[in-house]
A and B are shown apart, each in its own frame.
Chain A
Amino acid sequence: MLWVHDEMLRPSVLRDAEPACFVFDEQWIADARISLKRIVFMAECLEAMPCVEVRRGDVIEELAAFAETHDVSMLRTQVTPLPRLRSQIERLGSRFEIELFHEPTFVGLPGKVDLKRFSRYWNKAKKQAFKPTGEQAGDSLFAGGN
């Protein structure tokens, strides 16, 4: 199955015949006081993604319930830097076999980059940033884990 989280609301992540589910995270909406306009925006993006089941509630519980109705144990989703989603991916690891994929690389940079200031990153990234995606090395938006 595909877990569609809130950083991957585009139809191209969907695969034919693969069940897909998005969950409006009640805890996040309450804690971050996410406004109705933002929720509506996301709902409209989901409308443009055929066949994604849309739920609200506890993300882990809802995905487990969805998996049960489809009898699946493998979960695919996109790598993210958001701590909230990373922690959920980690918790899902005890319930599912997880397959992570990356967004196409914006700039492929060798090794560790000094991120203390944008200028240091830009000195390393500038040349690459002006090359099309097909010419980027590596498949990861950023180094390290999910």
Chain B
Amino acid sequence: MSTLPRDFESRDDLIAAYREAFADLVGRDDHVADFEGGRDHAQRRLDDVNPAKYGKTRNYLDGDVTRLGPFLRHGVLTLSETRDAVLEKLQEQNSRAEKLINELAWRDYWRRVLADIGEGVHDNREDWKTGLDDADYELDMPDDVLNADTGNDFVDGSVTELYETGYLHNQQRMKLAAYVVHWRRVHWHAGAQWMLGHLLDGDLASNHLSWQWVASTFGSKPYIFNQENLQKWMGDRFTGDSDDGPSPFRGSYDELNERLFA
């Protein structure tokens, strides 16, 4: 019999019970996020969504993102009811902002792809477009990335945030994935598996297929970024500079393509 307790007096009691019950499985990382689960919390988040503002600001690190991902991933909110709520708000706001509906559709798309390919999600969907192939990429995540000890403020800050909160803004996810795959030449699958375990909204379909998109095995070219682009979206939070030398992200896209893929 392995029934777990429920109906706790407080969140602290729940956390203490689960920390003890799963100590053998989760190892050293025993962070718990401030972000709370449950239908009421999901509903409050949904009530707070502002589709017009989301459309304008979502790409900025401090933009008005919805944080609905963990609830959508676990079916606390269905995609359909979320869409219906967004449509009502668009009507109230007399807004034609389409971006949030489009982002919900991405989730529907990834799930349809997963339903088609099943375990094939772990394999390259297409060839690499980097001029390299599987053998050129490391199969394990580098320790300095895992330990948030690369010396680069963006990389280390994002990894720490992932561990502590189970959340990364979409720009951080894409850029961290690009750093791991293209700057460090690590196979996308190692990075995808690592990130999946930590994200509160870790979803096999969107996570693994997005890593493949960054890598170029599910898209027409690799996704890279430069320091200027990083600073544009990250505001004051990160510079992209490294402790011990010039930023690895410095340069034009032509220069970076030359440096990373030649």
A residues near B, CB below 8 A? Answer: 6-11, 24, 26, 29-30, 32-49, 52-57, 62, 65, 78, 81-83, 86, 103-107, 113, 115, 118, 121-122, 125-126, 129-130, 132-133, 136, 141-144
Specify which of B3, B78, B114, B197 is in contact with A55 (CB 8 Å cutoff). Answer: B3
Specify which of B14, B77, B113, B163 is in contact with A47 (CB 8 Å cutoff). Answer: B14
Can you show 21 pairs from A to B with CB atoms below 8 A apart? A9-B37, A9-B74, A10-B76, A33-B193, A34-B26, A36-B26, A38-B200, A38-B202, A39-B26, A42-B74, A44-B36, A48-B39, A48-B40, A78-B75, A81-B111, A106-B104, A122-B109, A129-B102, A133-B80, A136-B80, A142-B116
A62 to B1, CA, bound (A): 8
Size bracket, chain B contacts: 35 or more
Asked if B236 is at the interface (CB within 8 A of a chain A CB), the reply is no
B197 touches A32 (CB 8 A): yes
B118 touches A103 (CB 8 A): no
- A82/B114 contact (C-beta < 8 A), A32-B196, A35-B29, A39-B18 known: yes
Chain B 115-130, CB within 8 Å of chain A: the 1/0 string?
1101101000000000
Specify which of B106, B115, B193 is in contact with A32 (CB 8 Å cutoff). Answer: B193
A44 touches B37 (CB 8 A): yes
B residues near A, CB below 8 A? Answer: 1-4, 6-8, 11, 14-15, 18-19, 21-22, 25-27, 29-33, 35-42, 70, 73-81, 83-84, 87, 98, 101-102, 104-106, 108-109, 111-116, 118-119, 121, 163, 165-166, 193-194, 196-200, 202, 204-205
Nearest A residue to B77 by beta-carbon distance?
A: A10
- A142/B111 contact (C-beta < 8 A), A54-B4, A133-B84 known: yes
A118 touches B39 (CB 8 A): no
B80 touches A35 (CB 8 A): no
A125 touches B37 (CB 8 A): no
Could you tell me the dominant secondary structure of chain A's interface residues?
Answer: mixed
A64 to B25, CA, bound (A): 23
B101 touches A62 (CB 8 A): no
Specify which of A29, A34, A43 is in contact with B14 (CB 8 Å cutoff). Answer: A43
Residues of chain B contacted by A121 (CB below 8 angstroms): 105, 109, 112
Residues of chain A contacted by B39 (CB below 8 angstroms): 10-11, 45, 48-49
Specify which of B6, B18, B101, B114 is in contact with A129 (CB 8 Å cutoff). Answer: B101
A40 touches B14 (CB 8 A): yes
B116 touches A42 (CB 8 A): no
Nearest B residue to A136 by beta-carbon distance?
A: B80
B81 touches A41 (CB 8 A): no
Known A37-B166, A44-B37, A47-B14; 10 more pairs at CB < 8 Å: A36-B26, A38-B202, A42-B37, A43-B14, A44-B11, A47-B37, A48-B38, A83-B119, A118-B106, A143-B115
A115 touches B31 (CB 8 A): no
Residues of chain B contacted by A30 (CB below 8 angstroms): 25
Residues of chain B contacted by A136 (CB below 8 angstroms): 80
Task: Say how far B137's CB is from chain A's closest CB, in angstroms.
Answer: 20
Nearest B residue to A125 by beta-carbon distance?
A: B105
